[in-house]
Chain A
């Protein structure tokens, strides 16, 4: 209001900084004028009077400064108080407005709630996988996992597993680290006899505790002198959760507990919520050397062999040492250690050839070099949930806009009454913020539901013990709600800035001309286009998941159990062990519900063995790939459901002393003898001097390592011609394997001597996690896609309905002039369809552009699958048609008499 500046003082009480100086000057001038008057009246000269007045006053300059400071402070606090009162008033006004329209308010709350909830859920998951450091870990940025990298068969491999020997080499030479710790975790049996259960037991060096800042809940952690070679002290620290659940939280310090092969004395309890580096709690922690002894059957090769890579390394860098510097030092130490290893194993390739180097990587495993597909998909889903939020915001923006347009007269009246435009915008904005806050609350409720669902079904590996609403998720939700409020609030504010007071006041409730709001149309197109993107994404993942499910693995996981035996200190020779396994095999075959059983040494997706092969006529077999070894007893192929393509399977006649035989996979046959016949060929296993094993059969390929890219190079030896006693049992059940697991376990446990026990795992549990990323993608994309479509459909409906109501007059005129029902229908529907077509085109373009990045996450599906694109495009058009049909019908029933005489 420029024209009012001359009168401002008359109407406004608010005073600026310049006024403060002026007022104080005037006040002091008045004081001195009065003083001088009084003193001159008593007979002083003007100059004397002035001096006397100043003497009485004291320092004028200092006082003036003090007064200015005081007044400015007062002005500031008054302004703040006024602002607070305005906001409170506007807030009450907004709340009243929202209460008056509960339908609108609930719709907005739910829309924003879904968007915010989706984000809170995904944030919770991704935060856990990628960002949140382990509990009780101070300065997590200083802590690194160590990876060792080598170039093997043309590709770089980053492995965090290493040997105790290497660990000691690195400890001996390192200078960049405050602590270097070794750790490992495996399932070991805790308890004896029937009560023995395999549970996660962590094996950690004493330094491990020092990297964390986790005071024990009871007792103490183990000391360096308790983790020495040759034998570590049999002491253990229990996990808090295990202590509570299995031991009832009673005083167990000093008591003994059978873990793995021996008794341990409990010396401490880890603090509550301490999971160290793992997503799930460990039942117990034992010293590193004790854990090593567990795997090498009490022997020492865990500590002496470079090849025994059973553990991992965690370091804390010294302050000021960068991760790069740490990697450089680790690389130097790794290379010299590798060189030392090569002295003992001259067949190893040189340091230069394998480009050996080490990496200090973040403590969150998913941020290391081997990110799982689940984490990659989860990161994508963050993007997806953001899109859902954008759609929700666009929709709410649209609703707010419609509301603002409906209130045009009210707004115009208020502007005319002198409410400042800024205040008005502030009110509109506050309203959207209030809605966003409500949406945030709704979002938390949705996140609680959705979060627990996703956690339980899709990411069961992690222990989601702590509440869904932790501080980080709450902060994120607040941020998302704020962003949503801003985003949704922008549209009506933009519109209100353009509001033309005079025009709005002149036009009655009946708007003579109907205005298509470009902003609203734009928002709608964005929503629909993004819905197309999400739905295409959903279709791609659903298809990938189906493809993975239908994938021929080469065996039938749903009807297979794997049985592992654990001798647990029962002294059995290899021969006795072999006999025990034969007894178990017989026992298993006799169990009801078991169709077939067989022994096998290695397990798909779990355990593999590869040794060098030598084939006459082929230069270096190793160069052609990694050949996985399996040794099986007769009946193995029927048990697994693996087909023999040519030749014969392993038979009972392939016994010890008989000619060595081998069955190879189809891929292996193709790789070694391209174009030739595999059967009858000779392969020497392990060394050049071994006798020939004759290939007697070719089996179909089996997925062993990965569902997506598996070379399938696998060969089968006869168990009877293999070192005795090793391996486990595969059992084929009549029904679903998981249902039979317990009865099979009980049946076989009866055959085990002493403390030894069997562990029965459904094959589905071993294979399942490999499919989880597609399952996650399919589920979440579908949920979000349908959500987005729903929101977009409602948005479309509301915009078309609004337009129709705005056009009632115009449509009435048309009907009066003779337009028929289908003319009106076409008029309205064309509008909606034009919008939908633009959206489909934009969405499809976005999909085609983004496809390149999403393709690696899919399985057997092209990101630009024309069928999917076509189906989704047509589907969206159909939905748009349905959403606009109801208002169109309403438009066609406009009664010209009513429409023209209204208002």
Chain B
């Protein structure tokens, strides 16, 4: 994977993970499930990469984690957004929206205009 692709990929992953955590603390498996459902499995994302993203963002201080009990009484690690993480989500979402709009405009512009 080229370096630019990797960065793009990481940025996308981060955004998805941050978005998944907007509604409250989740464990990694739930994040993976949310991402798969939200994208209708259109994006083929390895779940391992999601975990890497979770830990990377925890290191950066965007997330914090805590051990708790899952719905079926298993010990699970729950992730939660920090204030920094929320701010990060906002800026990244803005950037993505602007970027996507620009790309759409480009695609919709008729040829020769």
List chain A positions with a Cβ less than 8 A from chain B: 23, 26-28, 30-31, 33-35, 37, 56-60, 62-63, 66-67, 70-71, 73-74, 77
In contact, B29 and A35 (Cβ under 8 angstroms): yes
> Is B98 part of the contact surface with A, judged by Cβ < 8 Å?
no
| Contact among B28, B48, B76, B77 with A60 in the assembled complex (CB-CB below 8 Å) | B48
| Contact among A27, A33, A34, A58 with B49 in the assembled complex (CB-CB below 8 Å) | A58
| Contact among B29, B52, B56 with A31 in the assembled complex (CB-CB below 8 Å) | B29
In contact, A57 and B47 (Cβ under 8 angstroms): yes
> Is B70 part of the contact surface with A, judged by Cβ < 8 Å?
yes
| Contact among B28, B46, B52, B56 with A27 in the assembled complex (CB-CB below 8 Å) | B28
A34 contact set on B, CB distance < 8 A: 29, 70, 74
> Is B86 part of the contact surface with A, judged by Cβ < 8 Å?
no
In contact, B51 and A63 (Cβ under 8 angstroms): yes
A62 contact set on B, CB distance < 8 A: 48
A and B contact pairs by CB, cutoff 8 A, 6 listed: A30-B70, A34-B29, A62-B48, A70-B58, A74-B59, A77-B59
B51 contact set on A, CB distance < 8 A: 27-28, 31, 63, 67
In contact, A59 and B74 (Cβ under 8 angstroms): no
In contact, A67 and B70 (Cβ under 8 angstroms): no
Chain A proximity mask over B44-63: 1 for CB below 8 Å, otherwise 0:
00111101100110110000
A63 to B13, CA, bound (A): 15
A301 to B112, CA, bound (A): 95
In contact, B74 and A33 (Cβ under 8 angstroms): yes
In contact, B55 and A30 (Cβ under 8 angstroms): no
List chain B positions with a Cβ less than 8 A from chain A: 27-29, 32, 46-49, 51-52, 55-56, 58-59, 70, 72, 74-77
B29, B32, B58, B76: residue with the most chain A Cβ atoms closer than 10 Å: B29
B32 contact set on A, CB distance < 8 A: 31, 56
Tell me, rounded to whole Å, the shortest Cβ–Cβ distance linking B6 to chain A.
13
| Contact among A33, A56, A66, A73 with B52 in the assembled complex (CB-CB below 8 Å) | A66
Given A63-B52, A66-B52, verify A26-B75 contact (CB < 8 Å): yes
Given contacts A62-B48, A63-B48, A71-B59, list 8 more A-B pairs with CB under 8 A.
A26-B75, A27-B28, A28-B51, A34-B74, A58-B49, A60-B48, A63-B51, A74-B59
Given A30-B29, A58-B49, verify A70-B59 contact (CB < 8 Å): yes
Q: Do most interface residues of chain A lie in helix, strand or loop, or is the interface mixed? A: helix
Residue of A nearest to B74 (CB): A30
| Contact among B27, B48, B70, B74 with A58 in the assembled complex (CB-CB below 8 Å) | B48
A126 to B70, CA, bound (A): 73
A2 to B107, CA, bound (A): 69
A500 to B60, CA, bound (A): 44
A27 to B74, CA, bound (A): 10
Given A58-B48, A60-B48, A62-B48, verify A67-B55 contact (CB < 8 Å): yes
A66 to B59, CA, bound (A): 12
A31 to B48, CA, bound (A): 10
| Contact among B47, B48, B52, B77 with A26 in the assembled complex (CB-CB below 8 Å) | B77
In contact, B48 and A59 (Cβ under 8 angstroms): yes
A57 to B75, CA, bound (A): 20
B76 contact set on A, CB distance < 8 A: 27, 30
A251 to B58, CA, bound (A): 67
Given A30-B27, A56-B47, verify A70-B55 contact (CB < 8 Å): yes
B58 contact set on A, CB distance < 8 A: 70, 74
A842 to B46, CA, bound (A): 79
B75 contact set on A, CB distance < 8 A: 26, 30
* 4 nearest A-B residue pairs (beta carbon): A58-B46, A63-B48, A58-B48, A74-B59
A335 to B4, CA, bound (A): 73
A34, A57, A77: residue with the most chain B Cβ atoms closer than 10 Å: A34
B56 contact set on A, CB distance < 8 A: 70
In contact, A31 and B28 (Cβ under 8 angstroms): yes
A57 to B33, CA, bound (A): 12
A57 to B49, CA, bound (A): 8
B72 contact set on A, CB distance < 8 A: 37
Residue of B nearest to A67 (CB): B55
Tell me, rounded to whole Å, the shortest Cβ–Cβ distance linking B57 to chain A.
10
Tell me, rounded to whole Å, the shortest Cβ–Cβ distance linking A463 to chain B.
56
Residue of A nearest to B30 (CB): A34
A77 contact set on B, CB distance < 8 A: 59
A56 to B32, CA, bound (A): 10
A775 to B27, CA, bound (A): 81
B27, B46, B47: residue with the most chain A Cβ atoms closer than 10 Å: B47
B47 contact set on A, CB distance < 8 A: 31, 56-58
In contact, A27 and B77 (Cβ under 8 angstroms): yes
B28 contact set on A, CB distance < 8 A: 27, 30-31
| Contact among A33, A56, A58, A71 with B55 in the assembled complex (CB-CB below 8 Å) | A71
In contact, A70 and B29 (Cβ under 8 angstroms): no
Tell me, rounded to whole Å, the shortest Cβ–Cβ distance linking B50 to chain A.
9
In contact, B48 and A73 (Cβ under 8 angstroms): no
Tell me, rounded to whole Å, the shortest Cβ–Cβ distance linking B61 to chain A.
9
B46 contact set on A, CB distance < 8 A: 56-58
Tell me, rounded to whole Å, the shortest Cβ–Cβ distance linking B72 to chain A.
8
In contact, A67 and B52 (Cβ under 8 angstroms): yes
Tell me, rounded to whole Å, the shortest Cβ–Cβ distance linking A302 to chain B.
72
A71 contact set on B, CB distance < 8 A: 55, 59
Tell me, rounded to whole Å, the shortest Cβ–Cβ distance linking A32 to chain B.
9
Tell me, rounded to whole Å, the shortest Cβ–Cβ distance linking A61 to chain B.
10
A73 contact set on B, CB distance < 8 A: 59
Tell me, rounded to whole Å, the shortest Cβ–Cβ distance linking A82 to chain B.
14
A63 contact set on B, CB distance < 8 A: 48-49, 51-52
B49 contact set on A, CB distance < 8 A: 58, 63
Tell me, rounded to whole Å, the shortest Cβ–Cβ distance linking A368 to chain B.
59
B70 contact set on A, CB distance < 8 A: 30, 34
Residue of B nearest to A74 (CB): B59
Residue of B nearest to A75 (CB): B59
Residue of B nearest to A34 (CB): B29
B52 contact set on A, CB distance < 8 A: 63, 66-67, 70
B59 contact set on A, CB distance < 8 A: 70-71, 73-74, 77
Tell me, rounded to whole Å, the shortest Cβ–Cβ distance linking A214 to chain B.
48
Residue of B nearest to A55 (CB): B46
Residue of A nearest to B71 (CB): A34
A691 to B75, CA, bound (A): 120
A27, A63, A67, A71: residue with the most chain B Cβ atoms closer than 10 Å: A27
A340 to B56, CA, bound (A): 81
Tell me, rounded to whole Å, the shortest Cβ–Cβ distance linking B91 to chain A.
22
A743 to B28, CA, bound (A): 99
Tell me, rounded to whole Å, the shortest Cβ–Cβ distance linking A437 to chain B.
32
Residue of B nearest to A35 (CB): B29
Residue of A nearest to B57 (CB): A70
A60 to B49, CA, bound (A): 10
